[in-house]
Amino acid sequence: MATAPPRDSVPSVRGSVTAPASPTARGSVDVNLVVVVHGGGASNISADRKERVREVMAKAATEGYNILKAGGSAVDAVEGAVVILENDPEFNAGCGSVLNEKGDIEMDASIMDGKDLSSGAVSAVRCIENPVKLARLVMEKTPHCFLTAHGAEKFAADVGMPQIPVEKLITERSKKHLEKEKLDKGGQKPDCPKNMGTVGAVALDCKGNLAYATSTGGIVNKMVGRVGDSPCIGAGGYADNDLGAVSTTGHGESILKVNLARLALFHVEQGKTVDEAAELALNYMKSKLKGLGGLILVNKTGDWVAKWTSTSMPWAAVKNGKLQAGIDLCETRTSDLNFTVAPDPGLSCEPVLLCIKENERHGVRMELEAALLTTMGPWECQHSRIFHL
């Protein structure tokens, strides 16, 4: 009979499946392609939202993995995965970001290349659809690591990044969330993180390079100008090819104080497994500051972990063509990526995502593919993404 975990234990899920060694060309690196994504530490996710959240997490992880399979870099993969999450209003990043005390959006993001420790970050940006893309441009197009507010938006304009009206990023759900928070007159407490939906990704590519990206709208009802952990290198994330890549989520001020991402990699540096490193880092933050949160971590050999001390944390991971996803403790769904083909970039048709539940696999899959062929035509069917949850 299963027993509940000890009260102080850290909910976790770990993957460390290794594919059989395969012949490699001289000078190449024999590694496993890995992408792991998270959708933020949360106090709870309503039952009616769980399937939708799980679906989008799987879509983001699959997008990142497809980028790696096509020869893209770890940086490309984490950016691509996070863009999927920023574009979905279920999450507190990009469209759907929470509002500050004035009812406005201020978004933060960061990205880092473990190959040479190149990094880019932005904070308090308002008119940018995908802050993670702007963070990457800071990394690649400036001598700096961090731009903020109006300076970041001016840089975006200078490099030709489109800016959109803030109203297009504000959702009715975000407005209601702010109203409720003001009525409750609550600030964010360390043991009750309210930046639900912060998103992040880590990846290991075919050359052994690691990267992370993190993006957030911050905490609801925050003071104007407040910056949390997500854009801060070492707190919101870190990547180093010699160690691993981490993206964090949770109570931002606590994460900043303990430098959570780099702390986890310090434990990797000391010889700990990814599971041990994540648990030590999160337990330190919890014991020292009562701060709750979570993180995803992949090391240089492709072992990965998703671990959290908050009530739940949506996550998904793909390694060796195996997709795993979950939200709550002891919940993991595993499936094969049997059909994942990126669309031709020269065509405007968007790929289709079909999720086939375990008990529907055998009979329904062929019917769905036949329906796709009938309703969309052969090209769209060929370039759709079909996988199991």
- Give residue 105's pLDDT band: very low, low, confident or very high (50, 70, 90): very high
Whole-number pLDDT of residue 32? 86
Closest CA to 122 of 167, 86, 76, 70: 86
What is the average pLDDT value for the chain, to the nearest integer?
Answer: 82
- Give residue 331's pLDDT band: very low, low, confident or very high (50, 70, 90): confident
The least confident of 24-38, 182-196, 265-279, 355-369 is: 355-369
Two tokens, residue 80: 């691509």
Strand partners, 132: none
Whole-number pLDDT of residue 11? 62
Task: Answer yes or no: is pLDDT of 16 > 50.
Answer: no
Dihedral sign, Cα of residue 117, residue 316, residue 311, residue 10:
negative
Closest CA to 14 of 239, 326, 244: 326
Q: List all residues 6 or more positions away from 1 whose beta carbon is below 8 Å from its beta carbon.
A: none
Q: Give dist(CA 183, CA 103) in Å, integer.
A: 14
- Let me know how long the chain is: 389
pLDDT tens for each residue of 31-50 = 689 999 999 987 678 888 89
How far is CA 102 from each of CA 30, 179, 345, rounded to the nearest angstrom?
Answer: 51, 11, 40
Please say if 248 is a catalytic residue.
no
pLDDT tens for each residue of 117-175 = 999 999 999 999 999 999 999 999 999 999 999 999 999 999 999 999 999 999 999 99
pLDDT tens for each residue of 49-79 = 899 999 999 999 999 999 999 999 999 999 9
Q: Give dist(CA 238, CA 235) in Å, integer.
A: 7
Amino acid residing at 200:
G
Whole-number pLDDT of residue 41? 86
Amino acid residing at 375:
T
Q: How open is the CA angle 3-298-307, to the nearest 5 degrees?
A: 30
Q: List all residues 6 or more positions away from 99 whose beta carbon is below 8 Å from its beta carbon.
A: 105, 170, 174, 175, 177, 178, 217, 220, 221
Whole-number pLDDT of residue 370? 37
| Domains of the chain, earliest start first | 30-337 (3.60.20.30), 345-389 (no CATH)
Q: Are 73 and 211 in contact (CB under 8 A)?
A: yes
Closest CA to 358 of 333, 337, 377, 338: 333
Closest CA to 320 of 18, 74, 37: 18
Two tokens, residue 112: 């880092």
Two tokens, residue 120: 């880019």
Q: Give dist(CA 97, CA 87) in Å, integer.
A: 10
Q: Hey, which bits of 67-197 come out as E strands?
A: 107-113, 118-125, 146-148
Residue ranges for the known binding site for substrate are 226-229, 249-252
pTM: 0.81
Give the number of C-alpha atoms closer than 13 A to the C-alpha of residue 377, restricted to the C-beta side. 4
Residue at token pair 């102080």: 8
Strand partners, 239: 245
Whole-number pLDDT of residue 214? 99
Active-site residue among 18, 148, 198, 273? 198
pLDDT tens for each residue of 221-245 = 999 999 999 999 999 999 999 999 9
The least confident of 13-27, 175-189, 198-212 is: 13-27
